[in-house]
Amino acid sequence: MTQITVRVDGQSYSDDVEPRTLLVHYLREQLGKVGTVVGCDTSNCGACTVHLDGEAVKSCTVLAVQADGGTVTTIEGIADGGTLHPMQKAFHDMHGLQCGFCTPGMIMASIDLVGDNPDPSEDEVREGIEGNLCRCTGYQNIVRAVQQAAAEMRGASTGAPSTTEAVAQS
């Protein structure tokens, strides 16, 4: 066992883990953060995407010991109290989910994408979330959701009114 200290969704944890424990299993089974799901277990589908030190990673392909001293944000840590993150809200508004299994990873990957590219074109969204698979094939509304959230997040960062812009974008 190896002791790790990691900050997850704003709270610090110190735990003993086996070196072979994957980050996703640590999050789900030791911390109870079951919002992050295991989809494919082969590093393809992106359902387990979380942010490690500010970057989107597939948490099934990172060892928990590698997060030692780091900061993890999961889907459970992005809402502001009762207020959804703009990306969560947009997925809700635009029906960016069908069965919902890919949604946590889609949202975390999309927030990462918009962080790098605040105004992605449709093609850029599709390229940007290529590491996330929606087995329902509901991509059309996922792309719309990401673009709406990007508009909202741009508005929030400039202080400009965002609602009209979001509607115009959609």
Spatial separation of the C-alpha atoms in residues 142 and 79, rounded to whole Å? 19
- Residues numbered 87-126 forming contacts with other proteins, rule: CB under 8 A: 109, 112-113
Q: Tell me how far apart the alpha carbons of residues 39 and 43 are, in angstroms, rounded to a whole number.
A: 9
- Residues in the chain, overall count: 170
Judged by beta carbon, residue 119 or residue 130, the one nearer other proteins is 130
Considering only 6, 8, 47, 63, the residue that binds other proteins (CB under 8 A) is: 63
Residues binding other proteins: number (CB under 8 A): 31
62 binds other proteins (CB under 8 A): yes
Give the CA-trace dihedral at 77, 86, 151, 94, to 10 degrees.
Answer: 120
Q: Measured from the CB of residue 75, what is the shortest distance to other proteins in angstroms?
A: 14
The count of other CB atoms within 10 Å of the CB of residue 43 is 11
Among 41, 95, 118, 140, binds other proteins (CB under 8 A): 41
CB-nearer residue toward other proteins: 44 or 98: 44
